[in-house]
Amino acid sequence: MHAARPAYEDGRRPVNPPIVRASTVDFASLAQMEAAMTPGASSAQSFTYGVRGTPTTFALESLITELEGGFGSKLYSSGLEAISAVLLAYLRPGDHLLVVDTVYAPVRHLLTHFLADRGIHFDYYSPRETNLEALIKPETRMIYTESPGSASMELQDIAAIAAIAKSHKNLLVACDNTWSSGYCFRPLEHGVDLSIVAGTKYLGGHSDVLMGSVTATEAAFERLHEASVLLGLAVSADDAALTLRGARTLHIRYPAHAERALQMAEWLESRDEVVGVFYPPLKSSPDHALWQRDFDGAASLFSIELDPQLAAHQHQFIDALQLFGLGASWGGFESLILPCNMPANRSVDDWRGRGPILRLHIGLEDPSDLIDDLSASFAAIG
- Find the mean pLDDT for residues 215-226: 96
| Displacement of CA 86 from its chain's centroid (Å) | 13
- Which one of 213, 247, 281 terminates a domain? 247
CATH code (residue 357) = 3.90.1150.10
Is there a single domain that holds both residue 68 and residue 112? yes
- Tell me the C-alpha to C-alpha distance, in Å, between residue 178 and each of 68, 88, 118, 158, 211: 11, 20, 27, 15, 11
Q: Is 358 helix (H, G, I), strand (E, B) or coil?
A: strand
CB 349 within 8 A of CB 126: yes
Q: Do residues 266 and 329 both lie within one domain?
A: yes
- What does the alpha-carbon distance between residue 325 and residue 364 come to, in Å, rounded to a whole number? 13
DSSP 116-185: GGGT-EEEEE-TT-S-GGGG--TTEEEEEEESSPTTT-----HHHHHHHHHTSTT-EEEEE-TTTTTTS-
Task: Tell me the β-bridge partners of 337.
Answer: 326, 360
Does any domain span residue 202?
yes
pLDDT at 224: 97
| Burial (CB count <10 Å: 0-12, 13-18, 19+), residue 326 | exposed
Among residues 203, 220, 247, the one where a domain terminates is: 247
Confidence grade of residue 1 (pLDDT, cut at 50, 70, 90): low
The answer on 324 and 286 residing in a single domain is: yes
Same-domain check for residues 262 and 226: no
The residues, any chain, with a CB within 8 Å of residue 132's CB and separated by 6 or more, are: 98, 125, 143, 161, 164
Give 18's pLDDT tier (boundaries 50, 70, 90): confident
Q: Tell me how many domains the chain contains.
A: 2
Q: Is residue 10 one of the residues assigned to a domain?
A: no
CA 306, chain centre distance (Å): 26
* Residue 41: pLDDT band with limits 50, 70, 90: very low
Q: Does residue 276 lie in a domain region?
A: yes
Estimate to the nearest angstrom the gap between the alpha carbon of 27 and the chain centroid: 37
Report if residue 8 sits inside a domain: no
Over range 229-252, report the average pLDDT: 95
Cα(226)–Cα(228) distance, rounded to whole angstroms? Answer: 5
Same domain for 352 and 268, yes or no, is yes
Residue 197 lies in a domain: yes
For 112-128, what is each residue's pLDDT tens digit? 999 999 999 999 999 99
Describe the chain by its helix, strand, coil percentages, rounded to 5. 40, 15, 45
Average pLDDT over residues 329-355: 95
Cα–Cα nearest to 52, from 70, 36, 31, 64: 36
Give dist(CA 234, CA 247) in Å, integer: 19
* C-alpha span between 149 and 279 (Å, rounded): 11
CATH number, domain with residue 117: 3.40.640.10
- Measured distance CA(279)–CA(350) in Å, rounded: 20
For residues 264 and 202, state if they share a domain.
no
Residues 170, 231, single domain; the answer is yes
Asked if residue 204 and residue 114 are part of one domain, the reply reads: yes
Give the model confidence (pLDDT) of 136-193 as tens digits: 999 999 999 999 999 999 999 999 999 999 999 999 999 999 999 999 999 999 999 9
Establish if 20 belongs to a structural domain. Answer: no
Q: Give 17-47 as a DSSP string.
A: PPP---SB---S-HHHHHHHT--SGGGTT--
Task: Determine the 3-state secondary structure of 91 from DSSP.
Answer: coil
Are 171 and 277 in the same domain?
no
Q: Are residues 284 and 238 in the same domain?
A: no
Say how many Å lie between the first and final Cα of the chain, rounded. Answer: 47
What is the 3-class SS of 291-307, one letter each residue? HHHHCCCCCCEEEEEEC
H helices of 276-366, where?
Answer: 288-294, 314-319
Mean pLDDT, residues 297-316 taken together = 97
Task: Specify whether 271 is located in the same domain as 231.
Answer: no
pLDDT of 70-87, one tens digit each?
999 999 999 999 999 999
Identify whether residues 296 and 224 lie together within a single domain: no
Name the residue with higher pLDDT: 11 or 26: 26
Q: Are 144 and 174 in contact (CB under 8 A)?
A: yes
**Phi then psi dihedrals of residue 56, to 5 deg:** -70, -45
* 6 is a domain residue: no
14 pLDDT higher than 50: yes
Quote the CA–CA distance of 183 and 311 in Å, as a whole number. 36
Question: What's the rounded Cα separation, in Å, for the pair 354 and 358?
Answer: 12
Q: Could you list the residue range(s) of the whole structural domain that residue 347 is in?
A: 251-381
**Which of these three, 247, 276, 302, is where a domain ends?**
247
Average pLDDT over residues 29-39: 81
pTM above 0.95, yes or no: no
pLDDT digit string (tens) for 314-328? 999 999 999 999 998
CB 360 within 8 A of CB 324: yes
pLDDT confidence bin for 382, thresholds 50/70/90: confident
Residue 188 DSSP label: G
Categorize the per-residue pLDDT at 6 as very low, low, confident or very high, splitting at 50, 70 and 90.
Answer: low
